[in-house]
Amino acid sequence: MYEYLIGAVVDVTPQYIVVENNQLGYLIYTANPYRFTADPNKKEKIYLEQIVRENEITLYGFRSAKEKKLFLKLLEVSGIGPKSALAILANEDHQGFVLAVNNEDDGYLTKFPGIGKKTAKQIILDLKGKLTDLDSPEALIGQQGLTLTATADPYQKEAVAALLALGYTKQEVKRVAKKLQDYTADSTDGYLRYALKMMMK
């Protein structure tokens, strides 16, 4: 079982990052891979959760121990798997998620991909009152910004690919993609953060 890994992020994709440590490359699924920057000369500390299934062993990575804790709490909910948990974590508004659970706002919860009314009610049933130590956004959200200087178009495309990887439908992504064209950001992370906020409106 792993607690965390310190290494260099050498590749970033819409679904996962690759972290090199001691000449080994670890494929790690994260909620928003574009919070990380591929830089072989920079060390990152990534909290890990290893999930073992019959035919696969998968690593999931998080910016903080608090974010990992929320991921594990989500997995305790019937009907929530790792992909759905990552889709919830990908949205910056973790505080909004906690408030929605505690206020029994199932309408807010159904805005996440793959979360229907039944699962939303199950989340409320299983987690209401159990997330009090996770309601600080500063405790959950990674603060690293990206400082890439290329044109915005590639970033928009990567943000759209990341939304699809999180499980949003093509129709949902198409609606938000139009709004991205009128938005300016200097990174994929910037576009993805904005797109995720739009998804929740």
Output the six-digit token pair for 198: 């739009």
Bridge-based pairing state of the strands 16-21 and 4-12: antiparallel
pLDDT for the residue numbered 26: 97
> Could you tell me the pTM of the whole model?
0.74
pLDDT for the residue numbered 118: 95
- What ranges do the domains of the chain cover? 4-62, 65-140, 152-199
pLDDT for the residue numbered 2: 85
CATH value of 65-140 in 1.20.1440.120, 3.40.50.1100, 1.10.150.20, 1.10.150.120: 1.10.150.20
Q: What is the CATH number of domain 4-62?
A: 2.40.50.140
pLDDT for the residue numbered 40: 94
Alpha-carbon distance of 198 to 32, in angstroms, equals: 16
Alpha-carbon distance of 153 to 162, in angstroms, equals: 14
Polymer length of the chain: 201
The pLDDT averaged over each successive group of 10 residues in the chain (201 residues) is 93 96 96 93 95 92 92 94 93 83 93 92 93 54 30 77 89 86 89 91 82
Q: Dump the DSSP string for the chain.
A: --SEEEEEEEEE-SSEEEEEETTEEEEEEES-GGGS---TTSEEEEEEEEEEETTEEEEEEESSHHHHHHHHHHHTSTT--HHHHHHHHHSS-HHHHHHHHHTT-HHHHTTSTT--HHHHHHHHHHHTTS-GGG--HHHHS--PPP---S-HHHHHHHHHHHHHHHT--HHHHHHHHHHHTT---SSHHHHHHHHHHHHT-
